[in-house]
Homo-oligomer: A and B are copies of this chain.
């Protein structure tokens, strides 16, 4: 089926090839024509599956986010308390992107989190990682018998996300000398 006129599963193949290219050569080397060539099809073939380059990139983004989400869920599973779960999420967050800095730049790079908000529509709800964090956070309030207004909750959530995200930013910087140890800070994550 690989040598037939019809590729068979070009859409998935294009996404996979895109991820591979980003992984090996960074986002700046991603071009429609290269992705097409990597799949052994003509340069215009992707247009049968994606309106334009942006749509391909969005699809790749969604795919990478799924991988990210897997790690987060993995981190949360089987944790004894919400606090432990949240800390594990933070660790997983940093770890995931430290291992794949290209993914961080790719996901949060150009349009920062804007892209994710846009993606939320596909998920028909909030951005999944943030949703998971909120769930864990609410659980944390419950477990500790805390009561907070919605506004206070939003502030806490943004604060947590900000710290983790900001740290990841820094952790992803290549050539950073800092011997900063993520473990030193995690118990201070919860206000």
Report A164 CB to chain B, min CB distance, Å. 8
CA distance A109 to B113 in the complex (A): 10
Residues A104 and B110 in contact, CB atoms below 8 Å apart: no
Query: Which B residues are in CB contact (< 8 Å) with A165?
Result: 162, 166, 169
Could you tell me the distance between the alpha carbons of A179 and B155 in the complex, rounded to whole angstroms?
Answer: 10
CB-contacts of A115-168 with B (<8 A): 117, 151, 154-155, 158-159, 161-167
Q: In the complex, how many angstroms separate the beta carbon of A14 from the nearest chain B beta carbon?
A: 22
Flag whether A42 is at the interface (Cβ < 8 A).
Answer: no
Q: Is A176 part of the contact surface with B, judged by Cβ < 8 Å? A: yes
The answer to whether A113 and B163 touch (CB under 8 A), given A154-B180, A158-B180, A180-B158, is: no
Contacts of A174 in B (CB 8 A): 114
| Surface stretch bound by B, among A1-9, A56-64, A78-86, A183-191 | A183-191
Considering the chains assembled together, what is the distance between the CA atoms of A113 and B178 in angstroms? 14
Least Cβ distance of A168 to chain B in Å?
9
Least CB distance from A143 to B in Å reads 22
Q: How far is the CA of A151 from the CA of B182 in the complex (A)?
A: 12
Closest chain B residue to A104, Cβ basis: B112
Q: Chain A: interface residue count, which band?
A: 35 or more
A172 at the interface (CB under 8 A from B): yes
A170 located at the interface, meaning its Cβ lies under 8 Å from any Cβ of chain B in the complex: yes
Cross-chain contact A184 with B158 (CB below 8 angstroms): no
Q: Decide: A112 and B113 in contact? CB cutoff 8 A.
A: no
* C-alpha spacing A167/B163, complex, angstroms: 9
A113 in contact with B169 (CB, 8 Å):
yes
Q: What residues of B have a CB within 8 angstroms of the CB of A163 in the complex?
A: 159, 162-163, 166
A88 at the A/B interface (Cβ < 8 Å)? no
Add 7 more A-B contacts to A117-B175, A159-B163 (CB < 8 A): A109-B111, A112-B172, A112-B173, A113-B173, A155-B180, A158-B180, A162-B164
